[in-house]
Amino acid sequence: MNQPRFDRELLKECLACRACQEDCPLALFREDYDPYLLLELIREGRLEEALDMPQVWWCLECYTCHELCYMKYGMIEPLRELKALAMERGLKPPQVDSSLKVFRNTGLLTKASAAQRSKLGLPVPASVALDELRVLLGGGR
């Protein structure tokens, strides 16, 4: 199994800067989510401890941190790598597999609400090109 590669110097800079600290939507909403704790554990080489935390899966990958980062690193890169490592080791919540199955079968993670979209003045979403998606995902036609 390949050992993940985390740029510890970049993590050190990230942890020193924290330009995005007050802007992570999830951290603002949940007091029990501190993405910097996960980054500190990674930097310190305490991967097993980080992988055991359910917070690994809480990052929504909204890219807010990336957009605010002068290095264009944000917290997203190491957190995504941590998720990939957890998946390789089979340390993922069951919802990950069920969500991937739904996505492969429908091309969607959730069905859009026509009523909500109308209320917001949004158009009806385009239909999913499921055949093309399956080809891209390696499932053929």
pLDDT tens-place string over residues 4-16:
578 888 899 989 9
Residues 65, 79: Cα–Cα separation, whole Å: 11
Q: What is the pLDDT of residues 66-123, one digit of tens each?
A: 888 888 888 888 999 999 999 999 998 888 888 888 888 888 877 778 888 889 898 8
Pick from 67, 74, 61, 56: nearest CA to 13: 74
pTM of the predicted model, to two decimals? 0.74
